[in-house]
Amino acid sequence: MSFHAIDPAPARLNRSELAVPGSQPSLFEKAASSAVDVVFLDLEDAVAPNEKEQARRNIIAAINDIDWGNKTLSVRINGLDTHYMYRDVVDVLEQAGQRLDLLMIPKVGTAADVYALDMLVTQIEAAMQLQKRIGFELIIETALGMQNVTEIAAASRRNESLHFGVADYAASTRARTTVIGGVNPDYAVLTDPLGNQERQSHWGDMWHYALARMVVACRANGLRPIDGPFGDFQDADGYTAAAKRAAVLGCEGKWAIHPSQVALANAVMSPSEAEITQAKRILEAMAEAEKAGKGAVSLDGRLIDYASIRQATVMVEKAAQLSD
């Protein structure tokens, strides 16, 4: 290990994160009683400009009046380039800061964006004598944000997670797609002719690089990587496949832009019984190996060593977090 220590963000379940537009209060109660881990009440892109102020009032009332149980509660504020942002932060934190857990900051481009928000939030927390520190979830969804993702991840002690905002990222990088997340038939490898002269087209994942880069910045700074939206909420299989790809890369959760996606995210992002059992077997086998003075042994015909202990521990810790 490096001598450089990585402090993990406060532990929180973040398998699913439901987006709820602040302009639609009829959806709030349902979100509060759903099985989702994190709810974010949105003031940004799901709210039209002429509804911003009413949405802010709706959100403040909902945070104070609805029983959110033990759900993590977040508010997505407007971007730093808008005049809505300062009132989003000031009004929401002054009037509902006791219950709120996180602020979600969209389109973060530089570490200085996070610094500016940190300063404002720190002043409001002190003035209001808020007892609980507000954490930050930052959306990486522009070319600038992705270029600076390393510095952004390290920009504040409030940072808890980075989220891949695939729709805005596509717009910012001018990717040739108009759907939110998912795959694209043009992002494919055409094989050379095979034995029967047939050529096959193998679809790839056009978001792989961006997501993998964000995961590295997160894990190097103790943050949770969270995959963003999948727009086609009728396509449960497509959503599940995208969530699985993200989980395999190291993501801990995925957004739900429709309540039907919550159960899908929770299922994919929770380790299965088989994975937990296998992780425990690895730990037992390595404990036996250590007793016998060995650093590496074979389990089911495969090599396991001290790195396997660390991999298996991640899985077992995740299972323990779920049973808390």
Positions that interact with ligand GLV (CB under 6 A): 45, 139, 141, 165-168, 228-229
Cα-Cα-Cα-Cα dihedral sign, residues 260, 254, 186, 190:
negative
CA–CA separation, 242 and 38 (whole Å)? 19
Q: Whose Cβ is closer to ligand GLV: residue 230's or residue 315's?
A: 230
Contact region for Mg ion (CB under 5 A) — 134-142, 152-160, 230-238, 291-299? Answer: 134-142
- State in angstroms the smallest separation of the CB of 42 from ligand GLV: 9
Q: Which of 4, 5, 33 is nearest to 259 (CA)?
A: 33
What are the Cα distances from residue 131, in Å, to 193, 289, 300? 66, 48, 51
Residue closer to Mg ion, measured from CB, 114 or 304: 114
For the chain, how long is the longest CA-to-CA vector? 74
Shortest Å, Cβ 19 to ligand GLV: 8
Q: Which of 135, 165, 225, 253 binds Mg ion (CB under 5 A)?
A: 165
Tell me how far CA of residue 37 lies from CA of 13, 73, 143, in angstroms.
Answer: 6, 9, 29
Query: Tokens for 203?
Result: 């679809």
State the distance between the two ends of the chain, measured CA to CA, in whole angstroms. 29
Instruction: Kindly write down the DSSP assignment for every residue of 69-99, as one continuous string.
Output: TT-EEEEEPPPTTSSSHHHHHHHHHHHHTTT
17 binds Mg ion (CB under 5 A): no
Could you tell me where the beta strands, DSSP code E, fall in the chain?
A: 16-21, 38-42, 72-76, 102-105, 135-140, 159-164, 188-190, 201-203, 224-227, 253-256, 297-299, 302-304
**Nearer residue to Mg ion within complex by CB, 88 or 141:** 141
Kindly indicate which of the ranges 157-165, 257-265, 268-276, 296-304 contains the residues binding Mg ion, using the contact rule CB under 5 A.
157-165
Q: Which does 97 bind (CB under 5 to 8 A by kind): Mg ion, ligand GLV, none?
A: none
Q: Is the Cβ of residue 187 or residue 280 nearer to ligand GLV in the bound state? A: 187
- Shortest distance (Å) from residue 50 CB to Mg ion: 20
Residue given tokens 């102020």 in the structure block: 53
Nearer to ligand GLV, 210 or 315 (CB): 210
Q: Residue holding tokens 């978001």?
A: 207
Half-sphere exposure at residue 104, Cβ-oriented, CA atoms within 13 angstroms: 28
Tell the smallest beta-carbon distance from residue 45 to Mg ion (Å). 5
> Which residue lies nearer to ligand GLV by CB, 45 or 118?
45
Nearer to Mg ion, 37 or 141 (CB): 141
In the complex, least distance from residue 168 CB atom to ligand GLV, rounded to whole angstroms:
3
Q: Least distance from C-beta 181 to ligand GLV, angstroms?
A: 7
The option from ligand GLV, Mg ion, none interacting with 166 (CB < 5 to 8 A, set by class) reads ligand GLV
214-233 residues in contact with Mg ion (CB under 5 A) are: none
Residue nearest to Mg ion (CB): 168
Rule CB under 5 A: say whether 168 interacts with Mg ion.
yes
Task: Give residues in contact with Mg ion (CB under 5 A).
Answer: 141, 165, 168
